[in-house]
C-alpha cells in the first residue's frame, strides 16, 4: 500500500489557522478561539507610500496598498476571538496624519456643500435651527463609493474608501471566508452634544422590512465586520465623542464598568469589531468625522 507524504508541521498549523478564521466569519455569533482579551490594540508601522496622492488613480492604489500593510493574520485572529467584546480591535496610526488631514479637508468640503444629511439622502433638507433648539442635533452623513470620491476629485476620501475596501478584501483572504465591501459612510457629529444611542450594525433579516429603510440599510443582515476610521486633526477627552463598546446591552442607564470599553476618536485610528456588537457614540462637543465601512458576507 502506498504511503501518504508527510505534511510539514508549519504548513499544517497555517492551514488550521486559516480554517479557524473561516469558521469565525461564517455567521456573526460563531467564534471558536478562547481569548478573553477585551481590546486588542497596536500601532501600525509607517506606510511605505506615505506621500499624498497626485491623482485619483494613485489615491485608490495607495489606499489599497495601505490596507495590505495594516491588516494581517494577527488582526484577523483578533476579530474572531471568543471574548465578550466581539473581537474589538484598535489599530492606531492606521493612516498617516497627512492623509487624515486630506480626508478631513474633503469631509469639510462636502459638509459645506450641504451633502451631509441625517438620513444620508443628499436631497433631504438640513436640520433647521428651530429643530435643533427644541429636539437637539443629529449626526449627519453621506453615502459614497471610493470611485465616486475619486471622480469628484476628493482624493483623500478616495484613498480612505479604497483603504476600507481593501481591508475587507484582506480579511476575506486571511479568513478563507469571502467578505465583500459594503456601504461606505462618512458621518459628522458636529458638537452640541450629538450622540448615537446603543445599537448593533448587524440586524437579522427577519427583524425588519428592508423596503421601508434607506437603501444603505437594506442589507444590514449581511454585515459581518464593522470598520471605523477617525478623521480628527486633534482630539481631547473634554470633547467627548468616545466610541463605547458593550459586552451586553445594559438594562439600566449606568452599565457595569466591566461591561464597557471606551475608545477616543483619535485621528488615524481604526476600530474593527464584529457587527453584532452593541455600541454607541457618547455626547460630542467637537467636530467629529468618521469614515465607516461594513464588510458583508458574500
Is 75 within the bounds of a domain?
yes
Centre a 10 Å sphere on the Cβ of residue 30 and count the other Cβ atoms it contains.
Answer: 11
* Residue 61 to residue 209: CA distance in whole angstroms: 37
Q: Average the pLDDT over 194-206 and give the result.
A: 91
* C-alpha span between 284 and 298 (Å, rounded): 35
Task: Report the 10 Å Cβ neighbour count for 226.
Answer: 22
Instruction: Report angle CA 134, 138, 139 to the nearest 5 degrees.
Output: 165
Q: Is residue 183 part of a domain?
A: yes
178 domain-assigned = yes
Render the burial of 243-265: b for 16+ CB within 10 Å, e for the rest: bbbbbeeeeeeebeeeebbebeb
Range of the domain at 205: 9-297
pLDDT tens string 5-50: 454 544 454 444 444 444 455 444 433 445 568 999 999 987 665 6
pLDDT at residue 16 in the model: 47
Round to whole Å and give the CA distance between 249 and 240. 21
Rounded mean pLDDT, 53-68: 96
**Is 2 contained in some domain?**
no
Q: Would you call 80 helix, strand, or coil by DSSP?
A: coil
Of 24-33, 45-54, 58-67, 223-232, minimum mean pLDDT range: 24-33
Burial (CB count within 10 angstroms: exposed 0-12, middle 13-18, buried 19+), residue 240: buried
Taking only the tens place, the pLDDT of each residue in 72-113 is 999 999 999 988 999 999 999 999 999 999 999 999 999 999
Asked whether residue 162 is assigned to any structural domain, the reply reads yes
- The CATH number for 93's domain is 2.60.120.620
Please provide the DSSP assignment of 105-158 as one string.
HHHHHHHHTT--BSSS-TTSPPPPHHHHHHH----EEEEE-HHHHHHTT-HHHH
User: Are the C-beta atoms of 145 and 183 separated by less than 8 Å?
Assistant: no
Find the mean pLDDT for residues 184-208: 92
Q: pLDDT per residue over 269-282, tens digit each?
A: 999 999 999 999 99
pLDDT by residue (tens digit) across 162-195?
999 999 999 999 987 899 999 999 999 999 999 9
Distance (Å, whole) CA 38 – CA 48? 30
Strand arrangement of the beta sheet that strand 40-43 belongs to: 40-43, 89-92, 270-274, 223-230, 287-297, 179-190, 140-144
pLDDT in tens, 139-167: 899 999 999 999 999 999 999 999 999 99
Residue 4 maps to a domain? no
pTM of the predicted protein model: 0.85
Would 154 be classed as within a structural domain?
Answer: yes
- Any idea which of 90-94, 171-175, 201-205, 256-260 has the lowest mean pLDDT? 201-205
Residue 210 neighbours by CB distance under 10 Å: 14
- The percentage of the chain sitting over the pLDDT mark of 90, rounded to a whole number, equals 66
pLDDT at 18: 46
Number of domains in the chain: 1
In a domain, 253, yes or no: yes
The radius of gyration of the chain from alpha carbons, rounded to an integer in Å, stands at 20
C-alpha cell read off for 18? 486559516
Q: Give the three-state DSSP class for 169.
A: helix
Amino acid at each position: 500500500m502506498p504511503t501518504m507524504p508527510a505534511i510539514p508541521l508549519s504548513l499544517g498549523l497555517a492551514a488550521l489557522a486559516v480554517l479557524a478564521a473561516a469558521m469565525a466569519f461564517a455567521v456573526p455569533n460563531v467564534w471558536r478561539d478562547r481569548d478573553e482579551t477585551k481590546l486588542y490594540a497596536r500601532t501600525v508601522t509607517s506606510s511605505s507610500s506615505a506621500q499624498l496622492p497626485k491623482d485619483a488613480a494613485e489615491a485608490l492604489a495607495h489606499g489599497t496598498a495601505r490596507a495590505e500593510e495594516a491588516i494581517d493574520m494577527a488582526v484577523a485572529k483578533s476579530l474572531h476571538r471568543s471574548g465578550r467584546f466581539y473581537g474589538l480591535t484598535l489599530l492606531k496610526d492606521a493612516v498617516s496624519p497627512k492623509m487624515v488631514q486630506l480626508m478631513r479637508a474633503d469631509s469639510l468640503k462636502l459638509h459645506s456643500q450641504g451633502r451631509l444629511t441625517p438620513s444620508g439622502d443628499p436631497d433631504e433638507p438640513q436640520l433647521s435651527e428651530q429643530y435643533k433648539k427644541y429636539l437637539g442635533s443629529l449626526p449627519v452623513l453621506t453615502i459614497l463609493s471610493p470611485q465616486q470620491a475619486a471622480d469628484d476629485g476628493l482624493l483623500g476620501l478616495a484613498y480612505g474608501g479604497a483603504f476600507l475596501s481593501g481591508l475587507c478584501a484582506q480579511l476575506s483572504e486571511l479568513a478563507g471566508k469571502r467578505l465583500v465591501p459594503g456601504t461606505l459612510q462618512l458621518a459628522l457629529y458636529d458638537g452640541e452634544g450629538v450622540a448615537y444611542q446603543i445599537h448593533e450594525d448587524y440586524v437579522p433579516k427577519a427583524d425588519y422590512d428592508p423596503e421601508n429603510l434607506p437603501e444603505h440599510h437594506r442589507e444590514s443582515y449581511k454585515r459581518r465586520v464593522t470598520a471605523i476610521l477617525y478623521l480628527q486633526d486633534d482630539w481631547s477627552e473634554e470633547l467627548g465623542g468616545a466610541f463605547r463598546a458593550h459586552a451586553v446591552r445594559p438594562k439600566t442607564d449606568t452599565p457595569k464598568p466591566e461591561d464597557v470599553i471606551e475608545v477616543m476618536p483619535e485621528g488615524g485610528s481604526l476600530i474593527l469589531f464584529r457587527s453584532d456588537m452593541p455600541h454607541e457614540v457618547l455626547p460630542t462637543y467637537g467636530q467629529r468625522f468618521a469614515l465607516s465601512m461594513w464588510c458583508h458576507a458574500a
